[in-house]
Every structure is written in C-alpha cells, then in structure tokens.
A = this chain, B = another copy of it.
Amino acid sequence: MQIDAGRFLADLHTLRSFGAQGNGVVRPAFSEPDIAARRWLMERFAEAGLRPACDAVGNVFGLAEGPSLLIGSHSDSQPEGGWLDGALGVIAGLEVARCVAGVSVVSFQDEEGRFGVLTGSTIWSGGTDLATADALTDAGGTTFGAARELMADMVTGPVDPARFTGFLEAHIEQGPVLDTAGEEIGVVTDIVGIRDMTITLTGQQNHAGTTPMHLRRDAFAALAAYSAALEDRLRNVVTPASVWTIGHVEVHPNAASIVPGQVRFSMQWRDRDDGRLDRMEAVIRETMRDIAEARGVEVTFGRRLTLPPTAMDPALRAHLEAAAAGTKWRAMPSGALHDASNVARV
C-alpha cells in the first residue's frame, strides 16, 4: 500500500468531526467526543492490521507484531483547541502504519493537561504512579480516577514501552518561526525546559487622589518597572531561542481610584539549556528583589514548577534531516511541551 494524501486528509476530517466547533474542536480528555474518537481510532487501527489496545489511563495504541517504531501524538484537545493539534501526529502514524511494516501508533490521553501536564504519557513512562494520578483533580473537582472509569470498558491491559524501538511525533507548528520564514519542516533538536512561578508583590493600598507619588508603594508600578528592567537585564544571558512571559496578572483591589496594594503574577521562562534556565532565574530573582527594595514593596516567590529540557534522539534526527533534504527545512527547538518529552525517558 502507498501513502495516500486523500485518505490521510479524510481521516483527519473524520477525527475533527468528534467535537467540531467553528474552526476548531472541543474534545478535552475523557469528554464524550474524546472517548468516541478513541473508539473510532481503535477501529481504524484494527482495520490497518494492527492490534488495538487501550491501557488503564486511556492511552490507545495500534500495535504491530514484534519490536516496532511508535508513531503518534494525542487526540484530546484544549477546552477550545485547534483541529490539527495532536490529531496530525496520530493520523500520520495511522497512515504510515498502513503502508510500512513494523510501525505502531499511539494517541496518548490528556496531553492537554485537564488533570496535570501530559498526564497519559507521564503515567505510561513511569513519571508518576497510578494511585497518585487518580487523586489529581480538574478545575471542576472531578478526579482523574473517576474520569478514567468512563473508559473502563475499553481497557485491554498495559502496553510495555520496551516493545518500541523509538518514537516519532509529527506536530503542526505552534509558533510563527517556520510560517514567517516560508519554511515547511522543522526537525526538533530539543524540547525546551520550562520554569514557572507565581510572584506576589505587596505594597500599600491607598487613595489615588490623596497619596503623593513619593509616598506611594504601588505594587502595579513595581511590576511594570520589573517587566521593563527584565527586558534589559536578561539580554546578557539569553539566546534568540530563550523566551520569558508575564501572562497572568491579578491587581488588587483593581479600581481606577485606588493605588494598587498587591499584584500576583506568573513569571515563566523557557530554554533548551538547563544551565541557561538557572542563569535566567538568577536575573529574574535579583531584578525583582532590586525593584522591590527600591520601591518599598515586599516580594514573595511562590513554588517554582520545573520541567527539564529534553534532547531528541540524534539517530532519529539524522534520518529526519536526510528525509527533509530538498524541502525548505531547519533544525529548531520546540518551545511547546509534547508527549515526546516523556517517551524520551523510556
């Protein structure tokens, strides 16, 4: 059998129909459309001559006999997700497995993190145990344990990671780099590491008419000065691939006529190099302390989340680069997380 672009696109559109809404899809992990899509995938795997399998947490596989290369991604979506995010990698695996022997396919469960971060592949790769995962809750208070019960009738048993010789995950670009440069393919060198923490600045809430500027301890003005100073100070330690973001900001009491007494905000930074993440963190903390001291504001650093950078396999990369020759391609890090970060562990 030959790779068939029409069949590939038709499968993608069928998968899209589960939870389609506007241009995107609403197919969060363990929702009705997600479970229906996973049933449909297992049928397609069987049709392709693979053995359909579903493990206890809802990762669904199409298994080739003997040792095989695993290809796939995830079919759950963000609460409002793009129709190709994850889906492209799963259907690419299906189409390749139809045509090439020794290829298995996977759709990991809850990549989008309804219950955490990359939940299904984290458990499958031994990053967390089932008892711990079962206690995780989503924003509405549902536990992971209760959610996976909804797929209990589909479970065939565990799938041993040792049966796979490697993992390939195709993904639509989630940023503007290739698109802006008019390029077609990026061969991922590393999945970047992420650090994320909440910072709280406490100044003094005051009347915005009667408090002179020199007596203010304005928590929002301190955050603004920090954000501006950080742009200058980080320049010396980063590469063009390093990023940092203040994406979530809560101002208290958040009224036009009141000098803000407190702000809580998210500080997130990503890089492919753990040492550089450390150096960025030193600048982030030191700049915050300097600004806070200069402005009479108290700073509290919250718990820091860390996901280390993951290098992609050099041999698989070399094959991909050879295959990409003749297209417009580049080697590049992935700034977004993927199940491949977990699979790399096993």
Q: Are A206 and B243 also in contact (CB < 8 A) when A224-B223, A227-B224 are?
A: no
Whether A248 lies near B255 (C-beta < 8 A) is yes
Measured CB to CB, the nearest residue on chain B to A242 is B213
Interface residues on chain A, number (Cβ under 8 Å): 55
**Which chain B positions have C-beta within 8 A of A259?**
245, 247
Contact with B along A249-283 (1 / 0, CB 8 A): 10100111111100000101010000000000000
**Which chain B positions have C-beta within 8 A of A251?**
247-249
Q: Which of A172-230 contact B (CB under 8 A)?
A: 173-177, 180, 192, 194, 196, 206-215, 218, 220-221, 223-229
Contact with B along A317-339 (1 / 0, CB 8 A): 00000000000000000111100
Whether B256 lies near A209 (C-beta < 8 A) is no
Complex: A334 Cα to B213 Cα, angstroms: 14
Whether A209 lies near B221 (C-beta < 8 A) is no
Interface SS majority for chain A: mixed
Say how far A190's CB is from chain B's closest CB, in angstroms.
Answer: 12
Complex: A259 Cα to B176 Cα, angstroms: 13
Q: Which of B227, B229, B244, B249 contacts A254 (CB 8 A)?
A: B249
**Number of identical protomers:** 2
**Which chain B positions have C-beta within 8 A of A196?**
256-257
**Which chain B positions have C-beta within 8 A of A240?**
212-214
Whether B220 lies near A174 (C-beta < 8 A) is no
Task: Check: A3 CB closer than 8 A to any chain B CB.
Answer: no
Say how far A169's CB is from chain B's closest CB, in angstroms.
Answer: 15
Task: Check: A241 CB closer than 8 A to any chain B CB.
Answer: yes
Task: Check: A231 CB closer than 8 A to any chain B CB.
Answer: yes
Measured CB to CB, the nearest residue on chain B to A268 is B256
Complex: A173 Cα to B212 Cα, angstroms: 13
Say how far A82's CB is from chain B's closest CB, in angstroms.
Answer: 11
Residues of A within 8 A of B (CB): 173-177, 180, 192, 194, 196, 206-215, 218, 220-221, 223-229, 231, 240-249, 251, 254-260, 266, 268, 270, 334-337
The 7 A-B residue pairs whose C-beta atoms are closest, nearest first, are A175-B210, A209-B335, A224-B227, A256-B266, A210-B335, A228-B228, A208-B245
Q: A209-B270, A224-B246, A225-B231 are in contact. List 16 more A-B contacts (CB 8 A).
A: A174-B209, A175-B210, A175-B212, A196-B256, A196-B257, A208-B270, A212-B240, A212-B241, A218-B245, A220-B249, A224-B228, A227-B228, A245-B256, A247-B254, A247-B255, A256-B266
